[in-house]
Structure 1
C-alpha cells in the first residue's frame, strides 16, 4: 500500500525535475544517446521571449558611451583652419518600434527595425584667423537623434557534448538618418558645420552597437556551456538532461530534445535500461498557439522506478493504520482463524517489499501503473518478530492530474488488486477473505498518503518570475505533455542572467 503511494509520488515528481539542469552520463549506452523529453517553443513563445529580452537588453546596456573621440579639420575661407572635436558621445535612450524573430535552416534571426536612439555629446571648435592675433574657440553640448535604425543578428544553436553551443553567424546595425541639435555657445553659428559629423557619428553608433551584440553573443555562449551538467534529485538519484542531437528548427517553432532519464548518484546502473523510446512528432500540442510544450516519455518514470528499486528504497514496515485492530491477530480471528489461535491478541506488522520495479504506462487517457509487491505478515511476540505468511500482490492504479499555478497536482485511485499466497507457516489461507482487508489497507493508507502529496502539486520547470496561463495536459501513447502560455513578472533571476552577459 505504501508502495503505491511512493510510486505515484515518483510518477508526478519525475515529470518536472528533468528541466532544472543539464547532463549526467548514463551507464547504459543504449539509452545514453536517446531523447525521452522534448521541449517545444512555438512562434508565439519565441515572440514573447524576444520582446522580453529586447526590452531587458535595452535597459541593461544604456547608458552606452561610445569610446571614440571624433576630430575633424576643415579650411574655411577668411577663417583659416577650423578644428572640430566631439567627445563623450553617450546613448541614453533606445526605442524599438518593431522586431521579429525568424527561424530557418541557417539559424535564428532577430531583427529590430524602426529603432530610434538618443545621444548626448560634447562639442568644441577652435580656429585662428589672420583677422585676429589669437585663437577663437567655443564649446557646448549637443543632443542627437538617430532615426530609422535597423539592428539584427543571426546565430546558430547546436549540441556540443550534451550542452548548447551558440555561434554568431551575422550581426549588424544600420543607421538611416541623424538629427543633431546644438546647445550652448554660438550654436546657431556652428550648426551647419557640426552636421558634417553625421557620417562619423552614424558609423560610431553602428560600430558600438554591433560590438555590443558580438560581445553579448560570446558571453551568452559561455554562459550556456557553463551550466551545470547534472541535477541531484536526492542523495541517490540525479537526472540526465543532456541535449541529444541538435535543436530542430522549423519555420514556426524550435524543439530541444534531452535525455531526461534518472540515473544513480553512486554510478550504479539501474536494473533495466531497455526503455522504449518513440519519436514524438513536433506538434504534440493540439493548440498550436500555445507558447510552450513539454513532453515526457514514460521511460522517464520507469527509469525512476528502476533506480529506487535498485537502491532498495521500496521496502516498508507498516505498523500503524487508521484501524489499529487490523494490526492485531484479534482483528484477523475470522479471516485467518489459525493465526489468532496460535498467536492470540498479538500485535502484527506488515513487511512490504516490491518484487520488481513498478511499471508505468501512459495511454491516451491516463497514467497507469502496475506494482508487484510481497506482503509478509509478521507477528510481534515479546519483542520477537515472527514471519507467518507471505502474500503476493499485483496492484493496478491510475492517476489524474491538473495544473495548480505553476504546479502539477492531482490524485490517484486504486483500480484493481490481485493476490496469491506465496508461502505460509500457518497452513492454507482463504484468500477471498483476505482480499477485502488488503483492499481496505491500500485505500485507507496508501491512497490518502499519495494524494496528500499530489494535492499540493509539484513544481513544473518554470523560471521564477514566469507563470503558466491557460495550461492543458495531453496524454498520448507513451507520452504526457503540458501545453501552456506564459506570463512574466519581474524576476531577479532573469535580471542576473542579463547582467552576466553585459
Structure 2
C-alpha cells in the first residue's frame, strides 16, 4: 500500500506570489486523475503480493441429520493462496474526505482441510479430506484520508469493506453425501471469514503505511551547508478529480534549526491545472530558488579567488598595460590574482518563459609583489544573467549565460582609470571563466521532493510569472526501493 501515498507526496497548484515566510508553502502539488490511476495500479500490484497467503481461523459446527444423528464438522488450515484483481476493473478517485479505491470483479483461491465425525451405535464414524474454494465477483473498496500532523502526513482508513457474490467449493474424497451438508454448513462462514480477513489486511497495511510516512525525513540535503525543508504545511485538499499538497520547500542552513508553524494558505490560493495529460505537476515558487541562493551566500560560498586560468597570461600586468597603464607602470610584468566576492544574495527572477538573476559583486585586482599580495583596485560589478532549466532525473538543472553587466570603480591605489577601457577584458573574463564556473554548480541541480524509488519521466517545464511548473509522468523502480513492488511504468499517451 505504501506506493499510493508515497507517490502522492509529489505534484502542483499555482500559488500567487507573496513574501517569504517559513510558515508558508512554496512547493505545491496536485496529483491528477491519471496520477491516481497510476497509483492505484501500483497499489494493487503490491497489495496482492502482501495479502497472500492469509491463514483463516478454524471453523467448527454441528448439525443433526435424520437417521445419522449429530454430525460434528470442522474446517481447518484454511488459507487464501491467491488474490487476483484486474486493473481494468478497478478505479481510484478523489472524494470529499480522501482517496477512494474500488476493485470490482476480484477473485481468490483458497485451500482447506475438512473433517467430520459422528457416533453410530458403538462406533465413531469419521472422515477427512481436502477442498478448494474459488471466490468470484469479489468487491473490495476503501477510503484513505490524510491530514498534516507536525509536518508529516498522517494516514488512516475511514471506510473499508469486502463483499463476495459467489463462492464455489470443490471437495476431494469419497464422501459425496457429505458435500451438500458441508456447503450448507460452511459457505456463509467461509465467505464472512474471507471478507473479514481482507478487510483486516487493508487496515493493517494502512497502519504500516502511516508508520512509514511518519518516519520519512523532513529535509532533502542540497550539500553540506543547506537542506530543503520538505515538511507539509497544511492538510491535503481533496477535490473532485485531484488531490493538492502543500510543502514548505525553502532551503535552510544545515547549522540552523527551526520549527514550522501552521501555514496560512487559503483554499483560494490553489488553482488547479486543467491539463491532466500528465500524472503529476510540481510547482516551485521563485522563493525556493532565492532561499537556496541566500543560504549559500550566508555560508560564504560565493567568494572566489582566481589565480589560474586557461590563458595564464591574462593574469599578468603586462596584458593590462594598455587597459590600465598606471597598473603596469607601478607593477611591471607582475602576476595577478582576481578576488570575486558576491556582496548580496543573488536575486532570482522568473518571468513568463524565462529565468534570470542579478548578481552584485566586488572584483578586487591583486598584484603578487614578491611574497606579498597587494590589492590595487576594487570594481563593483553588477551582472544580469539568464538561462533555462530542465529536469534530469529528479533534479532541476540549469544553465546560464551572461546578458549584461555594469562596472563602477569603488576604490583604487593606482589612481582613477576608465571602466570603458577594461569592459572588453571583463566581459571575456565573465563569459569564459565566471559563467562556466557558475554552470558547473548549476549542473549539480536542485533536488525535487521525490520519494526514493520514483523517477520523473517525460517531464516538461512551464514558466509563468514567479514560478517553475513541472508536468511529468512517473516510473517506479523496484531495484531501488521496496522489493515487493514490481517494476511499473506508466507513460503518457499524449
Task: With the length of structure 1 as denominator, give the TM-score of the two structures.
Answer: 0.87
Verify: 1:124 aligned to 2:124, yes or no. Answer: no
| Residue 166 to residue 467, structure 1, CA distance change in 2 (3 Å) | closer
The answer for the alignment partner of 1:215 in structure 2 is 204
Residues 188-203 of structure 1 mapped to structure 2, 5 A cutoff: 188-196=176-184, 197-203=186-192
Residues 329-384 of structure 1 show CA distances to partners (whole Å, capped at 9, x for unaligned) of: 00100000110010001110111111111000001111100000000100011110
Verify: 1:388 aligned to 2:376, yes or no. Answer: yes
Instruction: Measure how far apart 1:322 and its partner are.
Output: 1.8
| Residue 337 to residue 478, structure 1, CA distance change in 2 (3 Å) | same
Verify: 1:52 aligned to 2:49, yes or no. Answer: no
Verify: 1:108 aligned to 2:96, yes or no. Answer: no
The answer for the alignment partner of 2:171 in structure 1 is 182
Residues 425-480 of structure 1 show CA distances to partners (whole Å, capped at 9, x for unaligned) of: 11111111111111101111122233445567666554455443332110011000
The answer for the alignment partner of 2:261 in structure 1 is none
Residues 121-155 of structure 1 show CA distances to partners (whole Å, capped at 9, x for unaligned) of: 0000111223xx31111111100011111111112
Verify: 1:37 aligned to 2:2, yes or no. Answer: no
Q: In structure 2, which of residues 353, 360, 366 is the aligned counterpart of residue 372 of structure 1?
A: 360
Instruction: Measure how far apart 1:408 and its partner are.
Output: 4.1
The answer for the alignment partner of 2:489 in structure 1 is none
Verify: 1:363 aligned to 2:340, yes or no. Answer: no
Q: Secondary structure of the residue that 1:148 maps to in structure 2?
A: strand
Q: Is contact 2:456–2:474 with CA below 8 Å preserved after alignment?
A: yes
| Partners of 1:258 and 1:404 in 2: CA distance | 21
Q: Secondary structure of the residue that 1:206 maps to in structure 2?
A: helix
Q: Is contact 1:319–1:350 with CA below 8 Å preserved after alignment?
A: yes
The answer to which structure has the higher helix fraction is 1
Higher relative contact order (CA closer than 8 Å, sequence separation 6+):
1
Q: Is contact 1:36–1:277 with CA below 8 Å preserved after alignment?
A: no
Instruction: Measure how far apart 1:214 and its partner are.
Output: 1.4
| Residue 407 to residue 228, structure 1, CA distance change in 2 (3 Å) | closer
Q: Secondary structure of the residue that 1:31 maps to in structure 2?
A: coil
The answer for the alignment partner of 2:409 in structure 1 is 421
| Residue 354 to residue 122, structure 1, CA distance change in 2 (3 Å) | same
The answer for the alignment partner of 1:432 in structure 2 is 420
Unaligned ranges ≥5, structure 2: 1-8, 11-18, 259-264, 487-494
Q: Secondary structure of the residue that 2:482 maps to in structure 1?
A: helix
Q: Secondary structure of the residue that 2:123 maps to in structure 1?
A: coil
The answer for the alignment partner of 2:77 in structure 1 is 88
| Partners of 2:257 and 2:71 in 1: CA distance | 79
Stretch moving more, 465-474 or 365-374? 465-474
| Partners of 2:374 and 2:437 in 1: CA distance | 27
Instruction: Measure how far apart 1:486 and its partner are.
Output: 2.1
Verify: 1:263 aligned to 2:252, yes or no. Answer: yes
| Residue 239 to residue 166, structure 1, CA distance change in 2 (3 Å) | same
Q: Secondary structure of the residue that 1:494 maps to in structure 2?
A: coil
| Partners of 2:106 and 2:257 in 1: CA distance | 56
Q: Is contact 1:464–1:491 with CA below 8 Å preserved after alignment?
A: no
Instruction: Measure how far apart 1:172 and its partner are.
Output: 1.2
| Partners of 1:168 and 1:408 in 2: CA distance | 35
The answer for the alignment partner of 2:469 in structure 1 is 481
Unaligned ranges ≥5, structure 1: 1-18, 21-28, 270-275
Q: Secondary structure of the residue that 1:330 maps to in structure 2?
A: coil
Residues 97-120 of structure 1 show CA distances to partners (whole Å, capped at 9, x for unaligned) of: 311112122222111111111100
The answer for the alignment partner of 2:312 in structure 1 is 324
Instruction: Measure how far apart 1:253 and its partner are.
Output: 1.1
Instruction: Measure how far apart 1:316 and its partner are.
Output: 1.0
| Partners of 1:277 and 1:209 in 2: CA distance | 39
Q: Is contact 1:359–1:371 with CA below 8 Å preserved after alignment?
A: yes
Q: In structure 1, which of residues 304, 314, 335 is the aligned counterpart of residue 323 of structure 2?
A: 335
| Residue 156 to residue 36, structure 1, CA distance change in 2 (3 Å) | same
Residues 4-37 of structure 1 show CA distances to partners (whole Å, capped at 9, x for unaligned) of: xxxxxxxxxxxxxxx89xxxxxxxx971220011
Verify: 1:62 aligned to 2:52, yes or no. Answer: yes
| Partners of 1:167 and 1:278 in 2: CA distance | 23
Instruction: Measure how far apart 1:490 and its partner are.
Output: 3.1
Q: Is contact 1:302–1:359 with CA below 8 Å preserved after alignment?
A: yes
Residues 140-289 of structure 1 mapped to structure 2, 5 A cutoff: 140-183=129-172, 185-196=173-184, 197-267=186-256, 281-284=270-273, 287-289=275-277
| Partners of 2:455 and 2:269 in 1: CA distance | 26
Question: RMSD between aligned alpha carbons?
Answer: 2.4
Task: With the length of structure 2 as denominator, give the TM-score of the two structures.
Answer: 0.88
| Partners of 1:95 and 1:493 in 2: CA distance | 24
| Partners of 1:352 and 1:328 in 2: CA distance | 17
| Partners of 1:287 and 1:82 in 2: CA distance | 65
Residues 5-20 of structure 1 mapped to structure 2, 5 A cutoff: none
Q: Is contact 1:330–1:340 with CA below 8 Å preserved after alignment?
A: yes
The answer for the alignment partner of 1:23 in structure 2 is none
Residues 208-263 of structure 1 show CA distances to partners (whole Å, capped at 9, x for unaligned) of: 11111111112211221122233343332222111111111111111111111111
Verify: 1:449 aligned to 2:449, yes or no. Answer: no
| Partners of 2:340 and 2:268 in 1: CA distance | 37
